[in-house]
Chains A and B, each alone.
Chain A
Amino acid sequence: MTITAGIDVGTGAVKCVLFDVTGEDASWLGKRVDRVRRRDPMKLAEEGYAAVLEEAGLKPDDVAYVATTGDGENVAFRTGHFYSMTTHARGGVHLKPGIRAVLDVGSLHGRGINIDPRGKVLSYKMTSQCASGSGQFLENIARYLGVAVDEIGTMSQSADDPEAVSSICAVLAETDVINMVSRGISTPNILKGIHMSMASRLVKLLKAIKVAEGPVLLTGGLALDTGLVAAIQEDMTDQKMDLAVEASPDSIFAGAIGAALWGAFRHQKLAQIGQLAQAS
């Protein structure tokens, strides 16, 4: 039995998970997500870690490996750090065994990751620095429209005549949205248009890395946005990509899960060669 923690420090949220890994079996001991909202992500990581330990009734000494991912390189009590591609791939395979690609859509970036059945990254591509394919952009638009983030998916799926939005630039897209509002376009149609714009960018990532087999798992903070999932599926169909896109209720934890599982793997490997790393 190896207890490991995974901490995914994202731009929009800090996710912490605790796992008990025995051989091939991995079971949840705790999970927590905190929106950053201008707070110190390192402090949130500390609090989140303490919370999952409390949830599991464990102490820091019980944890064999604290693995960070995302922007977690500065988490002082980490044992090791893994990169987002690596952890989302592994977390994705844990959440949906059999997937062959991961589409990680977070606050700042979108990433298409082509993986093998073990969760090894074969190739990947990220959105460019422009934020128009990201969660932050969607959140901004929702705020302008006065829509709660949780309502975005349902509203988008009720659209009857979606308006196209620039898929190149977040600034242009925001201007588009302002124009739409002044033209009286309904909120569902605007949101659906934004989802279509984002989906178009994200599917391009999958095409660029030549994802030929599915299913594709959506991970990251936007995986729970049913409107985005639907728009991605529709875009794939339009592009004649015979792939299914799925999401898990725990997709937001994919990075943290992957970190925790890779942490367990590393702990066992280091134990075998007598070189266990120690978290401070």
Chain B
Amino acid sequence: MSTAPIIERCREIFEDLDFKVVRAWKDAEPGRKVMGYMPFYVPREIIHAAGMLPVGVLGGGDQLEVIHGDAYYQSYICRIPRSTIELGLTGRLDVLDGMLFPSICDVIRNLSGMWKLMFKDKYAHYFDVPQNFDDGVGGAFYIEELKILCRDFEEISGREVSDEALRRSIAVYNKNRRLVNQLYDLRIREPWKASTTDVYLILRAAMVLPVEEHSDLVREYLAAAQDEEKPMRDNCRIVLCGTFCEQPPLGLLRSIEMAGCYVVDDDFMLVTRWLLDDVPLEGDPLENLSDAYLHHSGETAAKYVPDVKTKGLHLVEAVKRSGAEGVIFASPSFCDPALLDRPMLQNVLDAHGIPYTSFKYAENSGQMQPIREQAGTFADSIKLWSAA
């Protein structure tokens, strides 16, 4: 089997701003409920355990004309809340029975309040996550947050979120995470076989497909990609950093690849691999989810790092693990978390002698020539002038 039809399907899902896949899932059985969520992380296991479909809402991309959304924000605010409001006001998110707004930045937190005012008949919840990683403090707080979700979701779905249901859902997501990690491993090993455009589209499909279906899709892609003969190019290997909330346009990813870079690690759609290990199936499932968040989760700008000496080391580790030769910081314009984090991360890269380049984008950026030039000259500088 070829990867082409799989990617074509993912592309159709990605380009569909009306969430037809979600509508079809909901219409297939009366009473089905759908819970939307924004970046960077929500425990999808709980949504799944309540029998609902978790749906990632990642803004409108470059195909949505924002007309109403701009009226709600000052010019110095990023684009994802504008286009999300646009999606909501134009009825495209009517299929959702609720929305979760994770703790990522002030803009998204405030969007949760705006959502409550704008869509009074829909559930909207600001999902707070701990910034204290002590089990007795942050853990206790987080478990209470998870209990609120369980209670709310039971009410919406009319279905009990039992420990057994949670364990089953945890197992399903453990499996999906392992497959996504295998996809990332393949790209590290043979990036010419699994392009970043492909990986991105596959992860976008994870935002709307039922997790079981997505796992099948990833498995099929892995089998097909491994068998496909594609030439290895003389590209440099880079880690892409800063794309964890507002999404880069597909053209940007393609431009980076065309410019001579193999992206061997990235931080888009972190929800698919935020938890680094399997969540244990034994014991209390909420405690297990809490433990996974506190002690076995990734790092991103939205997560506090208590020990300043370790700040940014995850990026150095990602570079080493993936055999990357440099880092491209691509951050959305006006993204406080990404842009405030960037200087700290750059300092750490400087200290470790890892080259990097930086630029900004918006989800609707259309002019890619400057990015191609910048990424291309960065790739050239690594290939021709690096010490290795």
Contacts and interface: CB of A to CB of B under 8 A. Distances in A.
B31 interface: no
A161 to B, nearest CB: 40
A280 B231 contact: yes
A236 B247 CA distance: 47
Contacts of B376: 81-83
Contact of A278 (B231, B259, B383): B231
B234 A80 contact: yes
Contacts of B372: 73
Interface in A69-116: 73-74, 78-83, 85-86
B384 A262 contact: yes
Given A73-B259, A74-B258, A85-B377, A80 B231 contact: no
Interface in B315-352: none
A120 B385 contact: yes
A81 B380 CA distance: 9
Nearest to A119: B384
Contacts of B373: 83
A80 B233 contact: yes
Contacts of A120: 384-385
A266 B377 contact: no
Interface in A14-72: 65
B232 interface: yes
A114 B232 CA distance: 32
Contacts of B235: 80, 277
A136 B383 CA distance: 32
A277 B232 contact: yes
A278 B383 CA distance: 16
B260 interface: yes
Interface in B229-271: 230-235, 258-260
Contacts of B384: 82, 86, 120, 262, 265-266
Task: Label chain A's interface by main secondary structure.
Answer: mixed
B385 A80 contact: no
A74 B255 CA distance: 11
Nearest to A269: B383
Nearest to A120: B385
Contact of A79 (B230, B234, B380, B388): B234
A280 B233 CA distance: 9
Given A86-B377, A277-B232, A80 B258 contact: no
Contact of B231 (A74, A273, A279): A279
Interface in B353-388: 372-373, 376-377, 379-380, 383-385, 388
B380 A82 contact: yes
A79 B233 contact: yes
Given A80-B260, A81-B260, A262-B384, A121 B233 contact: no
Given A83-B373, A83-B380, A78 B258 contact: no
B377 A83 contact: yes
A78 B376 CA distance: 15
Contacts of A65: 234
Nearest to A65: B234
Contacts of B230: 280
A277 B376 CA distance: 18
A279 to B, nearest CB: 6
B380 A73 contact: no
A131 B61 CA distance: 31
Nearest to B384: A262
Contacts of B388: 273
A171 interface: no
Nearest to A265: B384
Interface string A259-279: 000100110001001000111
Contacts of A279: 231
A279 B192 CA distance: 12
Contact of B383 (A73, A74, A80): A80
Interface in A199-243: none
Contacts of A80: 233-235, 260, 383
A270 B386 CA distance: 13
| Residue in A82, A83, A86 whose Cβ sees the most chain B Cβ within 10 Å | A83
Given A78-B233, A266-B234, A278-B232, A121 B377 contact: yes
Interface string A113-149: 0000000110000000000000000000000000000
15 contacts: A79-B234, A80-B235, A80-B260, A81-B233, A81-B259, A81-B376, A83-B376, A83-B379, A86-B380, A266-B234, A270-B234, A273-B388, A278-B231, A279-B231, A280-B230
Interface of A: 65, 73-74, 78-83, 85-86, 120-121, 262, 265-266, 270, 273, 277-280
Interface of B: 230-235, 258-260, 372-373, 376-377, 379-380, 383-385, 388
Given A81-B260, A82-B380, A266-B234, 5 more contacts: A78-B233, A82-B384, A262-B380, A277-B231, A277-B232
